[in-house]
Structure 1
Amino acid sequence: MDDISINSSDEDVSSLGSTTPSESLVEKDTYKLDREVHPLNSKTAVKMNRRKSSSLFRTMSNNIISRTSSIVEAVKDDSQYAAERDRETLERADYGAEVYAGSIMREPIDLEKDADESETEKQQMDTPPDGTFWGWTTCICVMLINTFSWGTNTVYGVFLEYYVSSNHFPGANMEEYSLIGGLCLGMSFMFISVANTLIRRFHYKSVMLFGTAIIVICFCTASVATSIVQLVMLQGFLMSIGFALTAGPTFVMIPSWFLKKRSVAQGIGAAGVGLAGVIFSKPIELMIQNGGNYRWALRMLGIVCGVMLTISIALVRTRRPLQVKNDSLIKAIWQNFTRWDILFRSPMMCVIMWNCIYGLAFAVLLFSFSSYSTAIGLTRSQGSMVTLVQSIAQTLGRPVLGIMSDRWGRANTTILSTTFLGIISLVWWTFIKSYPNLLVFSFITGFFMGISWVNFTPLCADVVGGGDDLLAAVSLLTFIGGIPQIVAEIIGLKLKRPEMSQPFLYCQILVGIACILSAAILLPFREWKIKKFLTVRKDLIEDDVKRSEKDEIRLRRYELMLERTFRGRLIRMFYPMKV
C-alpha cells in the first residue's frame, strides 16, 4: 500500500492493490452468458454495454481508490519519519548556546552521521528541558521585551498622522517621515549581529539594560526635537540601536529552554510585537487628540517602556552562561558577516532571499493601513481602529502560527502563509472600499504576516544546525533582510498615485507579487530538506540485512523520488509531507 511509483508492470500494479483478482474473469463470463441466452438485438447490446461499462467503472474506481490510499499511506509514513528525524536534529541543534558557553563546539548537522550515532551518545546530549518554570518565565519576559521595544514601532503611524496633519516640522516631506519607521525596523535587524556578539563579551543583562537606556533617552529627547533631521536621528537611527541591543539577544534565549515546543514558544515571544499596538494605540491617540500635545505621548512611551523593560530583563534567564573569551570584538563581528561557506549554501540562500523579499511586503502591510483608510474616505479614528485590529491579530496569530509550524512543518506553514497573503492582497485588498471589509482584511493579514518572525531562526537551524554556524546564519539573514525594510515604506509611498481612483493599487500589487515570489523562492529549500530525509531513510533501509516487503516498496518509491532529474526535483518540491 506504500508504493506510489509510476510503473506499468503487473507486479507494481498488484503491489498497489489496484485490482481484485477475479474481476476480469467475471466480466468475460458475464459477456459469454449474455451471448448464449439473448439474441443479438439492440436491447441486448445495450444491456451488454451497460454491464461492461458498470464493470469497467467499478474496476477504475477500485484502481483510483487503491492508488489514492497508497499515496496517502506513503505520505503519512514519510511524514512520521520526517517528524522523528526533525526532533532528533533539534536535539543536536541547540541554537548557539554551546558556543556561547564555550563547552561544546559542534559541526553543522549531518543527518547521515546522526543515523549511525549510538543511543548512549544521544542520552549524553544536553537537550533543552522543553519548558520548566524559568523556561516559561523567560518566554513571557521575551514577549514583554518585544512589546516594549520593537513593538512600539507599530504605533508610529499615530505620530506620523499628527506630524503630517499639523505640519509640525515645516519643510519636512513624507519620505523623511517614512524613513523614521523604516530605520526603526530595518536598522534594528541589521544590528542584531552586533548585539549577539556583545553578549559573548559582556553579561547579557548589562547589554540589554544599556539598550533600554538608549530607548528611554530617544523617546524623551524626540519629544523636544525641533527639526526633522533630529527626529530621524533620535526616533529612527539611535532608536534602532536601542531596539537591537535590548531585544536582539532574545533570539538565543528561548531555543535553549525549548525543544518540541520551540516554535510555539517562539510564537509567544514574537506576539509581543503586536501586543504593543493593542496597549498603546488608543491611549496615544487620545493623548494627542485631547491634549493636542504629542510630546507627553512620547515621554509616556519612554517611561513605561523603561520600567517594563527593566523588570523583564531582571526576570529573564538563559539556561547556560553566554560569555566567552575568544577573539577580539571587532574580529568576531566581522567573522559573522564573512561566513561565505554558509552564505553560499543554496538552501541558506533560499531562506535569506525569502526573508528579504517578504520583508518588503511585511513593512508595506505594517505601515500602510492607516493612510489607506484615509484614502478610501474613512476618519482618523476608523483608521486607528484598523491598525489596532491588525495589532490584535498579530498578537493572536504568532503563537497559532508556531503551533501550526510544529504540527504541519515550518517550511509548509511558511510557504502556505506567504502565498495566502499574496493572493488575498491581489484579489481582495484591491477591491476594498468599506470600513467593515478593511477591518476583516486587516485582521486576516495581521494573523498571518508574522510568519517570518516565528520561523526564520528555525529555518536557518534546519540548514546549519546549532552553534556558531547558526549565529552567523541569523546575522547574515537579519543584516540582508533589514535593507529592504528600511526603504519599504518609502517605496510604498512612491508607488502611491493620489490622482487614480485606486491610489494604492501599485502598492497592493507589490505586496501580492512579493509574497508569492518569496514563497516560490522557498520551494527549492523544501525540495532540499525532503531530499535529505528521503536519502537518509533510503540508506538506512539499504543497510538493513532483514528487509520487509514494505521496505522493498519504499526503496522503489525512493528511487523514483530521488532521481537527479527535473521530474525528481519537481516531485520532491511538491511532495505533501511534513517539512
Structure 2
Amino acid sequence: MRTEVLQESQDVSDNTPTHELSFEEVRDSPPDGGYGWVCVACCFTINAFTWGVLSSYGVYLSYYLQNNVFPSATTTDFALIGGLNFSTAMLISPLATFLTRTYGVQPPMFLGILSQTLGFISASFASQIWQLYLTQGLLVGFGIGLTWIPSIAVLPQWFLKRRSMANGICSAGSGIGGIIFSFAVRAIMSKYSLAWALRTCGLVSGFMNILATCAIRSRNHIVQPRLHPFDVLLFRRYEVILVLGWGFVSMFGYVILLFSLSDFARSIGLGSAQAAAVTALLNLGTAVGRPVVGLASDRFGRIETAGSVTFLCFVSVFAIWVPATSYGATICFAVINGGTLGVFWMTIAPVSAEVVGLKELPSMLSLAWMVVVLPCTFSEVIALKLRRPNSSREFLYAQIFAGLAYLVASFIALELLRVHRKRTRPSPLDCRED
C-alpha cells in the first residue's frame, strides 16, 4: 500500500516531503557519518582559519581607530575594509561555483588559500590606506571566498538526520578561530607590531587551511548537483525569495555586532585588554552555541530554529546590549549573543537544502552569497555613521539599528515557515491507500 511506501521513505527523508522523493534520492541518501566526520573536521578547520581569522578584525579596527597608522584614512575607510572582507568573499561566489563545477572542490580552495595568505602578508607592508584596501580588504576577502564557498556545500552531502548538528559543529570553528586570533592578534601587536600580527595571521591560517583542503572530499559524483553560478530561475520560487530576504536583513545586525563590540567596549571606558576579551568571549559564545543551535535545528526543524534564533538575537540586543554600561554586562551579552548572532551562517545550508533540495543547493547558496554582499559591505559603515562620539551613549543608534534588523528578519523567517509548511503538507490524496 502507498502509506507503507511513504513511511519507509520517511526514515531517510530529513523532513523532505515523501511524495517528492525519487527512488534515486532514497538510494543515494547521505550516509550520516563515515568519512563525513572527517569532512566535519575539515570544514571546522576551514571555518576557524577563514571566518575565525576574519572575526579578529574587530581588534584591528579598534587599533586603527585609536592609532594614527594611516594619517589620511577616515573611520569610514577602516569600516569599508572590514566590510570588503565579507562582501568580496560573497561576491565571487559565481566564480567559486564555476571553478568547482569545472575543476572540482579542491583547486579553487588552494587558490583561495594562496590569496588569503598573500593578502595578510602584503598588508603588513602597507603604508597607505589604498594598499590596505587592496590587501587586507580585497585580497583577503577573495581568498576567504574561494576557500570557504566550495566547502560549504560538501557537508550536507554527507549528512541527513544529523545535517544541522554537523553544520553547527563546523560553524563553531569560526568561534574557536576567533578566540585564538582575538587574543593572539592583540598580544602580537603589544609585544611586536601590527605588521607581525598580520603576517602571523596569514602564515598560520594558510598552513591549517592547506591541511583541511587536502583531506576534504565531496560526493558530487553521486549527488550530481546543478552547479549554476547564477541560476535566476530560482527567483521564481517565493520560498527562495524569503530565504534570501531573511539572510539580507539579518546580516545588517550580524556585521554590526561582530565588528562594533570591541569599539563599543572602549566607548564605555574599558581598556584595550578588556575590549579584546569581549571580542574573544563573543567567539567563545559562538563556539559553544552553534553546535547547540544545530542540535535544536535537527530536533525542532531547520526553518523553525532559524526564525526563533533570529528573534532571540533581537531580544538580546534590546534586553542586554542597549542598557549595558559595564564590563560584566558587556561580557554577558558577548557570551549569550555569540552563539546566536551568526544564525545565517549556521542555518543557511540546511534551510536551503530544505527549500530547494541537494541538487539545487550549490546554486541556491551562490545566490545567497551574492544577496548578502551589500549588507556585508556597508553595515559597519552605517554603524560608524550612526555613532554619536560626544554622547554618553555613543553606539545607541547603531544598537537599535542592529536589533531592528534581527526583528524584521525574524518576521521574514516566520512567513517562510508558513509557506514551507503549506507547500510540504501532504495532500489527503497522497495519504490514502491504493
Residue in structure 2 matching 1:519, options 410, 416, 421: 410
Aligned counterpart, 1:355: 247
SS at match of 1:199: helix
Aligned counterpart, 1:220: 121
**Does structure 2 conserve the Cα–Cα contact (< 8 Å) formed by 1:199 and 1:322?**
no
CA distance in 2, matches of 1:397, 1:124: 32
CA distance in 1, matches of 2:111, 2:365: 22
C-alpha displacement of 1:387: 0.5
Deviation per CA, 1:319-374, whole angstroms, max 9, x where unpaired?
344999x9xxxxx8xx532x333113111111100000001100001011111111
CA distance in 2, matches of 1:398, 1:83: 31
TM-score normalised according to structure 1 size: 0.70
2:53 maps to amino acid: T
Residue in structure 2 matching 1:486, options 352, 365, 377: 377
Aligned counterpart, 1:538: 428
CA distance in 2, matches of 1:262, 1:229: 42
C-alpha displacement of 1:214: 1.0
Deviation per CA, 1:239-298, whole angstroms, max 9, x where unpaired?
11111111111112111111111111111111111111111121221121122x111111
Spell out the pairing of 1:65-104 with structure 2 (5 A cutoff). Answer: 88-90=12-14
Aligned counterpart, 2:3: none
C-alpha displacement of 1:427: 3.0
How many aligned residue pairs are there? 429
Does residue 297 of structure 2 align to residue 405 of structure 1? yes
CA distance in 1, matches of 2:15, 2:341: 28
Aligned counterpart, 2:133: 232
CA distance in 1, matches of 2:44, 2:67: 34
Residue in structure 2 matching 1:455, options 347, 352, 356: 347
C-alpha displacement of 1:237: 0.9
C-alpha displacement of 1:190: 2.2
Does residue 229 of structure 2 align to residue 336 of structure 1? yes
Residue in structure 2 matching 1:371, options 253, 258, 263: 263
CA distance in 1, matches of 2:364, 2:24: 25
1:200/1:533 CA distance change after superposition, 3 Å: closer
SS at match of 1:230: helix
Spell out the pairing of 1:281-296 with structure 2 (5 A cutoff). Answer: 281-291=182-192, 293-296=193-196
C-alpha displacement of 1:382: 0.7
CA distance in 1, matches of 2:67, 2:278: 22
CA distance in 2, matches of 1:122, 1:169: 59
CA distance in 1, matches of 2:15, 2:254: 31
C-alpha displacement of 1:89: 4.0
Residue in structure 1 matching 2:109, options 198, 208, 213: 208
CA RMSD of aligned residues (A): 2.4
SS at match of 1:498: coil
C-alpha displacement of 1:87: 5.9
1:492 maps to amino acid: A
1:160 maps to amino acid: L
SS at match of 1:201: helix
1:481 maps to amino acid: V
1:538/1:438 CA distance change after superposition, 3 Å: same
1:498 maps to amino acid: P
Aligned counterpart, 1:95: none
Does residue 311 of structure 2 align to residue 422 of structure 1? no
1:389 maps to amino acid: L
SS at match of 2:339: helix
2:195 maps to amino acid: R
CA distance in 2, matches of 1:151, 1:240: 13
**Does structure 1 conserve the Cα–Cα contact (< 8 Å) formed by 2:9 and 2:26?**
no
2:87 maps to amino acid: G
2:309 maps to amino acid: S
1:135 maps to amino acid: G
Aligned counterpart, 1:509: 400
Aligned counterpart, 2:49: 148
Deviation per CA, 1:111-152, whole angstroms, max 9, x where unpaired?
5454xx6xxx368621111111x2111111111011112221
Does residue 204 of structure 2 align to residue 304 of structure 1? yes
C-alpha displacement of 1:524: 1.8
- The percent identity for this pair of structures is 32
CA distance in 1, matches of 2:365, 2:386: 31
2:404 maps to amino acid: I
1:129 maps to amino acid: P
**Does structure 2 conserve the Cα–Cα contact (< 8 Å) formed by 1:200 and 1:322?**
no
TM-score normalised according to structure 2 size: 0.93
Residue in structure 1 matching 2:80, options 179, 182, 185: 179
Aligned counterpart, 1:189: 90
Aligned counterpart, 2:157: 256
1:228/1:83 CA distance change after superposition, 3 Å: farther
1:538 maps to amino acid: P
2:253 maps to amino acid: A
**Does structure 1 conserve the Cα–Cα contact (< 8 Å) formed by 2:223 and 2:358?**
no
2:328 maps to amino acid: P
CA distance in 2, matches of 1:167, 1:517: 38
CA distance in 1, matches of 2:253, 2:384: 13
1:375/1:251 CA distance change after superposition, 3 Å: same
C-alpha displacement of 1:205: 1.9
Aligned counterpart, 1:21: none
C-alpha displacement of 1:309: 1.2
SS at match of 2:289: helix
1:179/1:84 CA distance change after superposition, 3 Å: farther
1:267/1:84 CA distance change after superposition, 3 Å: farther
CA distance in 1, matches of 2:69, 2:20: 63
1:509 maps to amino acid: I
1:124/1:511 CA distance change after superposition, 3 Å: closer
1:540 maps to amino acid: D
C-alpha displacement of 1:520: 0.3
Which one has the largest radius of gyration?
1
**Does structure 2 conserve the Cα–Cα contact (< 8 Å) formed by 1:145 and 1:312?**
yes
**Does structure 1 conserve the Cα–Cα contact (< 8 Å) formed by 2:157 and 2:223?**
no
Aligned counterpart, 1:100: none
Does residue 285 of structure 2 align to residue 396 of structure 1? no
CA distance in 2, matches of 1:377, 1:476: 42
Aligned counterpart, 1:158: 59
**Does structure 2 conserve the Cα–Cα contact (< 8 Å) formed by 1:397 and 1:450?**
no
SS at match of 1:525: helix
**Does structure 2 conserve the Cα–Cα contact (< 8 Å) formed by 1:203 and 1:322?**
no
Aligned counterpart, 1:565: none
Greater RCO structure (CA 8 Å; 6+ sep): 2
Aligned counterpart, 1:475: 366
**Does structure 1 conserve the Cα–Cα contact (< 8 Å) formed by 2:12 and 2:161?**
no
1:254 maps to amino acid: L
Aligned counterpart, 1:431: 323
1:462/1:304 CA distance change after superposition, 3 Å: same
**Unaligned residue ranges in structure 2 (runs of 5+):** 1-5
**Does structure 1 conserve the Cα–Cα contact (< 8 Å) formed by 2:13 and 2:26?**
no
1:186/1:351 CA distance change after superposition, 3 Å: same
